[in-house]
């Protein structure tokens, strides 16, 4: 019983922690250090300090900016807090321009980085909860809106990463978080769902209890991943199981397709010999449980396509020999 009372007191103390200035400062330092470690960021800081500063502000306040846009609020509202902006700007300047890189080297030192990352994860909990609460004040029964705003508030800097890269003159659409989510984005989405269900009264747990449990999980998983150097998410087994159950395509019987002909006609592929192409074309229907007439028509088409490609290749060689 005494243990439960202590946990109750601890959960209430954690839920009452003020974020400014210590936890916010840790978030700014960790975000700016992550920005500096991006390829080309140091060069941008040397040639265009304003672009580097604006990129750092997106890293620090990206969640508030994105959630504000989703709720039709001014995108510059997060910058109205002069104290937070000045603190983030000071952190940016020291990380990029401090003599001998003292601030960056200290922040990148593993023990200090563990503390900063843990404090940043604590602030993530408040961002997610703040986004869900803000959305609930306008859309009381909009569970999807609450999840989306809480997700954006907690992981906004990653979700708008492509825009932040454009500020630095980089365009990498393949790094879109929606295409390949990072662990912070996934765990923030999970937290947004949990806090939404709790705020809607569909999860039988007190708010401060959920805050405590979710914060402990975030800090523990982050420290564990940093100490072990693991790039895989602790939720990877659960994700793989859910993907196989709900989203994985069912295995299909092999069918006769035009893949062989398409591969032969692709530019840049070397021309295959007659025997190789014939064997490839002839093996299209092997092991397939389909209509034999369809396979015959497909093979005939592939053979005709092969002969056409070989004739063009021979003509091209003859033309080159004549030029020589």
Quick check: 267 pLDDT over 70?
A: no
Average pLDDT value for residue range 264-292:
43
306 pLDDT band, cuts 50/70/90, is: confident
Q: Which structural domain, as residue segments, surrounds residue 50?
A: 16-246
State whether 153 and 212 are in the same domain.
Answer: yes
Whether residue 242 is found in the same domain as residue 263: no
pLDDT band (50, 70, 90) for residue 102: very high
* Distance between CA atoms of residues 104 and 158, nearest Å: 21
Residue corresponding to tokens 């705003």: 149
Clarify whether residues 157 and 221 are in a common domain.
yes
Residue ending a domain, choose from 187, 212, 246: 246
273 DSSP 8-state letter? P
Cis peptide before 81 (omega within 30 of 0): no
Answer whether residue 65 shows pLDDT above 80. yes
Same domain membership, residue 173 and residue 311: no
One domain for residues 287 and 194 = no
Question: Tokens for 276?
Answer: 């190789």
> Are residues 122 and 28 located together in one domain of the fold?
yes
| Residues 6+ away with beta carbon under 8 Å from 109 | none
- Domain-embedded: residue 210: yes
Residues 38 and 161 occupy one common structural domain: yes
Whether 263 shows a pLDDT value over 70: the answer reads no
Residue at 4 is within a domain: no
Tokens 């074309």 map to which residue? 281
Model confidence at 300, pLDDT cuts 50, 70, 90, reads: low
For residue 161, being part of any structural domain is answered with yes
Instruction: Looking at the structure, tell me whether residues 305 and 204 fall in a common domain.
Output: no
* Structural domain count of the chain: 2
Give 206-243 pLDDT, tens digit per residue.
999 999 999 999 999 999 999 998 877 788 888 888 88
Q: 11 in a domain, yes or no? A: no
Percentage of residues of the chain with pLDDT beyond 90:
64
């Amino acid at each position: 019983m005494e243990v439960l009372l202590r946990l109750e007191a601890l959960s209430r103390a954690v839920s009452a922690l003020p974020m400014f200035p210590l936890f916010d400062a840790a978030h700014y330092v960790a975000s700016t250090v992550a920005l500096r470690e991006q390829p080309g960021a140091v060069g941008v800081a040397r040639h265009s300090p304003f672009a580097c500063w604006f990129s750092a502000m997106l890293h620090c306040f990206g969640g508030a900016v994105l959630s504000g846009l989703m709720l039709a609020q001014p995108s510059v509202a997060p910058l109205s807090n002069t104290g937070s902006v000045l603190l983030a700007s000071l952190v940016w300047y020291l990380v990029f321009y401090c003599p001998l890189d003292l601030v960056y080297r200290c922040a990148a030192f593993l023990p200090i980085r563990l503390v900063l990352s843990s404090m940043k994860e604590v602030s993530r909990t408040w961002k997610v909860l703040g986004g869900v609460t803000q959305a609930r004040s306008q859309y009381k029964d909009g569970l999807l809106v609450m999840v989306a705003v809480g997700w954006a508030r907690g992981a906004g800097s990653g979700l708008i990463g492509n825009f932040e890269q454009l500020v630095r003159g980089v365009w990498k659409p393949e790094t879109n978080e929606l295409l390949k989510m990072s662990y912070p984005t996934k765990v923030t989405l999970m937290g947004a769902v949990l806090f939404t269900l709790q705020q809607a009264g569909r999860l039988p747990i007190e708010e401060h209890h959920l805050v405590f449990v979710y914060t402990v999980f975030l800090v523990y998983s982050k420290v564990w991943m940093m100490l072990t150097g693991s790039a895989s998410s602790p939720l990877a087994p659960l994700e793989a199981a859910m993907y196989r159950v709900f989203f994985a395509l069912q295995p299909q019987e092999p069918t006769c397709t035009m893949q062989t002909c398409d591969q032969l006609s692709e530019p840049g592929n070397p021309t295959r010999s007659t025997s190789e192409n014939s064997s490839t074309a002839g093996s299209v229907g092997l092991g397939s449980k389909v209509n034999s007439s369809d396979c015959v028509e497909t093979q005939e088409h592939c053979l005709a396509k092969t002969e056409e490609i070989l004739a063009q290749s021979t003509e091209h060689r003859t033309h080159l020999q004549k030029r020589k």
